[in-house]
Structure 1
Amino acid sequence: MNPLPVSPPGRAAGPRAAPTRLAGAIALSLLALCAACDSPFESETRGARIRSAQVLEPGGPIFRTLHLRLDTPAAVEVEYWTAGAPRLRIRSAAPADSHAVPLARLIASRTYQYEARPIAADGRPGPPLTGQFTTGPLPAELAAISFTATGTLRTPLVLLHLYTPGMFGGYVAVDGSGNVVWYYRTADLPFGIARRANGNFIAMDKGRGLLELTPAGEVIHELPQDEENRNQHHDAITTPQNTVLFIAFDRREYDGRSIAGEAIWEWVPGTNRAVKRWSAHDFFDPFVDRTDRSTDDDWLHANSLHIGPRGNILLSLRRLNQVISIAPDWSTIEWRLGGPGATIPFADGDRFTGQHTAAEVAPNRILLFDNRHDLGGYSRAVEYDISDGVAQTVWEWRPARDNFAFAVSSARRLPSGNTLVGFGMSPGLNGSTGPIEVYEVSPDREVLWHLVVDGPFVMYRAEPLETIAGETIVTQ
């Protein structure tokens, strides 16, 4: 390009000066106009760009982390997919120039495509960066278990607690097609599991203790098992205060006779501080409040905890065939449903025995899995209304083909009003009929989804799971 003519110093411009000034003014106006306009090209060049991406494997063969580096701080959004499975999306919302984005809900031995974009403060996406990765195979012990699904699952995922001595033991999440999309191996029985406000799991591994796990399976806090003084068992739940309540055996001497009752403890992860909040010894008489199945080493056999609508705590006592409600301040037992010393009778004699997962799903509405331990024949999910001081059966369900589960098992109410019912005993175990199976059932008792699990010794529970690491299904 030829330079514009410049007048010598001290000399007036000649006849060409006026057009030159006019051209310069027009050029400056055009530049100002372009700077003010909302041009996609200009926004893209000024916005954040992803400079590099790396996929790492921090949590086993079916969990990945996508590490992204940007040229300027921004949020990021990642979509990832494989053939025959839903497209998934996850967003890292806090602006930063580097992100570690968890890619969860993956299926084993699949190739996935991904698309990552920076997200501007006004929500506009920046230019994409694409790539792919391949997941690994499941461990042989888990791959040997079969999951056969039929129907349509309305909750995103189901989390199973599976255990076979000497083989696989741990938590396994499956999708509606029966694909394993997450797992965590435990040292012993995988008891209760819950979520903290930060998205981490609280898991009770009977052989190790209480664990706070990231979705990638990293243990960041731990309350070790103490079988001599505070033997943790069966259940742990999180509170509105983001602490953890858990059940532990609690021994007390009676004229030289040591009897193992139950206590509820509260743990604050990260502090290693646990406080005993409640003991059955202060409210029950081990020589009166008992059944033929009560022993000195396991007098009550508590197996589930639940926080009710008023902050009351429901505790299921399997050996007594009883569910109790403890006042929010731990000072009194509000009511006792079923078993010896019951304060709420059954209106029609429709009692439960050997129950699990008792929960107050609405004020004065108690849902539980009724094993019918003492009655046999079949097990069921049942809901009682106790609002009038008596227990009236208002809903129950059992499969068309009876399934008697001597122990374990679960019934969980979903936000939709459907119920997830899990029968956890393999055929022949303690007289159980089997199979190990899970149903999603509508309020009018229609079976919407069915999963048969073949291979484990027991399935302690089947729980609804909304997400593993914050991922959601892309619907459009």
Structure 2
Amino acid sequence: MALSIGIGAAPLTGSATAAPLPTLPIGALKYTVDVNAGATPGYVYYSSGISAAALVPGVSKAVSGIPAATSANIVVDKAGREVWRYDPPAGQDVSNFRTQTYHGKRVLTWWQGETVGGHGSGADYIADEHGRVIEKLDAGGAPTDVHEFRLTPDGRALVTSYHKVDADLTAIGGPKNGTMYDAVASVVDVATKRVLMRWSAARHVPLTDATATDKLPGSDAYDPFHINSIALDPDGDLVISMRDTSTVYDVDIRTGAIKWRLGGKHSTFTLGRGVQFAFQHDAEFASSNTIRLFNNNSSGFETDGLSSVQWIRLDHATHRATLVRNQTHPDNLVAFAMGDAQPIPNGNTLVGWGMAPHISEFTPSGKMVYDARLPFGTYRAYPADWAPTH
């Protein structure tokens, strides 16, 4: 199946009879700031390049040789000036570049490796404030995936990995003797590299929960789950987002049992007015009872509406989910892959619009105070009040 709807077409604003089209995934020639009206001072961390655009037939070949297409970890100030950069070795991609805290010290972290069929095969890196690597992690002997590398205050890491397995795929229209990717969430002790917990989507989620079941371009395996974020809930259990089931799962970190589901085909919560998301990324708790997620609302093959950031309040007593806020972009962006939303201490939110190549900042009232265009988008964008030094 070709992604013809997103290439060479201008985005539409949508109507009662037609869903909007995915936004063209090629933006400015370089990082270009269009709006800077009271944005929070500081820096933006992101990864450049076209590793994610490999999902789009023809994009990688069309832009090969362009400097902006080269994968790199970059820090810019709010004026758009590049202040720090890491270029990986030839043949390697980098992604999910951010600041985190390890042993009480601020560090740089990222994923590095090869992008294959919509996921990554590589390792996760921790570097000091100058970019010197101090730790390198895998998933217990298996390569880690690009989608998540989150450090916890007690020295653990939450990482994703994809494993090819044989499976009967007739339930989703595939072959009886088929091959698919099992999406795995692991909790790793950084110091010892020991895997403390490993959660397999294939063991806990029925194939029939999938809302998108196509094989991705460049892959010979089905991808019915597509894990893309792991975070901790207020009780210390795992919050797992899976794009291809359009569901956020809360998973007991001790037993692996699913405690509840938000969205998808079997939501534990009744979804209130306006709580509608699909193919989402980056699900995290914004407060003790509120989930924040990046609602792609599009897979490229199917689009349900504009992309947005949603804040959803969960009432466990009544099993109801209520929309607190839905933040769209003034340009009516539709990101058919990637994307995130990160809190800023002053209450603002930095949004990376994924394959819709923008990074924006919004106030709690929804005012956009910052907007920049990128050449090819970025998996995630993170705010910080400091920049590394060489």
TM-score category of the 2 structures, normalised to the smaller one: 0.7 to 0.9
Residue 282 of structure 1: how far off its partner (Å): 2.8
1:175 corresponds to which residue? 77
TM-score for the superposition, normalised by structure 2:
0.73
Structure 2's unaligned 5+ residue stretches are 1-28, 51-59, 115-121, 169-176, 216-220
Instruction: Pick from 307, 316, 319 the counterpart of residue 379 of structure 1.
Output: 307
Residue 386 of structure 1: how far off its partner (Å): 1.3
Residue 170 of structure 1: how far off its partner (Å): 2.3
Report if aligned partners of 1:294, 1:300 keep a CA contact under 8 Å in 2. no
Instruction: Please state if 1:448 is matched with 2:369.
Output: yes
Instruction: Please state if 1:191 is matched with 2:93.
Output: no
SS of equivalent to 1:391: strand
CA-to-aligned-CA distance 1:259-315 (integer Å, 9 cap, x gap): 3221112333354434542222332122x3222436553220011111122212111
- What is the CA–CA distance in structure 1 between the aligned matches of 2:196 and 2:166, rounded to whole Å? 21
Report if aligned partners of 1:192, 1:234 keep a CA contact under 8 Å in 2. no
1:464 corresponds to which residue? 383
- Once the two structures are superposed, the pairs formed by residues 97-136 of structure 1 within 5 Å of their partners are none
CA-to-aligned-CA distance 1:179-237 (integer Å, 9 cap, x gap): 112222242141364522322223111334111212222222223589x9545231110
How large is the Cα RMSD of the aligned pairs?
A: 2.7
The number of residue pairs the alignment matches comes to 315
Instruction: Please state if 1:238 is matched with 2:151.
Output: yes
2:209 corresponds to which residue? 289
Instruction: Please state if 1:259 is matched with 2:180.
Output: yes
Q: Which amino acid aligns with 1:414?
A: I
2:258 corresponds to which residue? 333
Instruction: Pick from 342, 347, 351 the counterpart of residue 417 of structure 1.
Output: 347
Q: Which amino acid aligns with 1:205?
A: Q
Instruction: Please state if 1:353 is matched with 2:278.
Output: yes
- What is the CA–CA distance in structure 2 between the aligned matches of 1:236 and 1:340, rounded to whole Å? 28
Instruction: Please state if 1:307 is matched with 2:232.
Output: yes
SS of equivalent to 1:319: helix
- What is the CA–CA distance in structure 2 between the aligned matches of 1:412 and 1:307, rounded to whole Å? 15
TM-score for the superposition, normalised by structure 1:
0.61
Task: Compare 335-344 and 271-280 and name the one that shifted more.
Answer: 271-280
- What is the CA–CA distance in structure 1 between the aligned matches of 2:278 and 2:329, rounded to whole Å? 18
Q: Which of 1 and 2 has greater Rg?
A: 1
- What is the CA–CA distance in structure 1 between the aligned matches of 2:245 and 2:99, rounded to whole Å? 26
* Change beyond 3 A, Cα 1:336–1:405: same
Instruction: Pick from 390, 408, 423 the counterpart of residue 320 of structure 2.
Output: 390
* Change beyond 3 A, Cα 1:194–1:252: farther
Report if aligned partners of 2:189, 2:196 keep a CA contact under 8 Å in 1. no
Q: Which amino acid aligns with 1:246?
A: V
Instruction: Please state if 1:202 is matched with 2:109.
Output: yes
- What is the CA–CA distance in structure 2 between the aligned matches of 1:193 and 1:206, rounded to whole Å? 16
* Change beyond 3 A, Cα 1:224–1:247: closer
Report if aligned partners of 1:194, 1:237 keep a CA contact under 8 Å in 2. no
CA-to-aligned-CA distance 1:380-430 (integer Å, 9 cap, x gap): 1111111241221110111222111111111122222211112222xxxxx
Q: Which amino acid aligns with 1:365?
A: T
1:59 corresponds to which residue? none
Report if aligned partners of 2:123, 2:143 keep a CA contact under 8 Å in 1. no
2:38 corresponds to which residue? 152
- What is the CA–CA distance in structure 2 between the aligned matches of 1:449 and 1:162, rounded to whole Å? 19
- What is the CA–CA distance in structure 2 between the aligned matches of 1:156 and 1:407, rounded to whole Å? 27
Instruction: Please state if 1:320 is matched with 2:239.
Output: no
2:53 corresponds to which residue? none
Higher RCO (C-alpha under 8 Å, 6+ residues apart): 2
Report if aligned partners of 2:197, 2:253 keep a CA contact under 8 Å in 1. no
- What is the CA–CA distance in structure 2 between the aligned matches of 1:411 and 1:463, rounded to whole Å? 8
SS of equivalent to 2:202: helix
Report if aligned partners of 2:99, 2:106 keep a CA contact under 8 Å in 1. no
Report if aligned partners of 1:193, 1:236 keep a CA contact under 8 Å in 2. no
- What is the CA–CA distance in structure 1 between the aligned matches of 2:377 and 2:255, rounded to whole Å? 33
- What is the CA–CA distance in structure 1 between the aligned matches of 2:139 and 2:287, rounded to whole Å? 34
1:403 corresponds to which residue? 333
Structure 1's unaligned 5+ residue stretches are 1-143, 426-433, 471-476
SS of equivalent to 2:205: coil
CA-to-aligned-CA distance 1:76-99 (integer Å, 9 cap, x gap): xxxxxxxxxxxxxxxxxxxxxxxx
